[in-house]
Amino acid sequence: MSSNRGKSDEIFFFDGSTTDLENLCYTLPMSAIIRASEIGSYLYCRRAWWYRKQGVESENQTELATGTELHRQHGRKVIAAGLLRTLGGLLLLTALILLAVYVTTLLLK
């Protein structure tokens, strides 16, 4: 029985080796798997992603730490803005309810 799979069913690796799609799960070492969390890093800078996969530490650790702290601060500001917006909505709703009660009491007198 002949297989009707073509060359498109083969995966080619950087070292020149190949494997069938069906055997891909069993032939890849765990270190060769790209995790979903790494995709953003890869898309931003392929070379930095590759260096990280090779275990090379970044030389600009101070800048990375500063950037991480800035992102943390920004995240806190976004959460605070969301909470303030919710509070503002609740206060507006309370004011509208009080206005409706006030107008209703005026009309019923």
Do 39 and 81 fall into the same domain? no
Domain extent, residue 20, equals: 8-57
Confidence of residue 6 (pLDDT cuts 50, 70, 90): very low
Q: Cα-flanking dihedrals φ and ψ of residue 79, to 5°?
A: -65, -45
| Stated pTM of the model | 0.50
Do 106 and 66 fall into the same domain? yes
Tokens of 76: 């806190």
The answer to whether 28 and 34 are in contact (CB under 8 A) is: no
The 10s digit of each residue's pLDDT in 67-109 is: 999 999 999 999 999 999 999 999 999 999 999 999 999 999 8
Do 67 and 26 fall into the same domain? no
Q: Is residue 95 part of a domain?
A: yes
H helix runs in 5-60, sequence order:
24-27, 36-44, 46-54
Q: Cα-flanking dihedrals φ and ψ of residue 28, to 5°?
A: -80, 130
Q: Cα-flanking dihedrals φ and ψ of residue 20, to 5°?
A: -75, 155
Do 33 and 53 fall into the same domain? yes
Q: Is residue 43 part of a domain?
A: yes
What's the total number of domains in the chain? 2
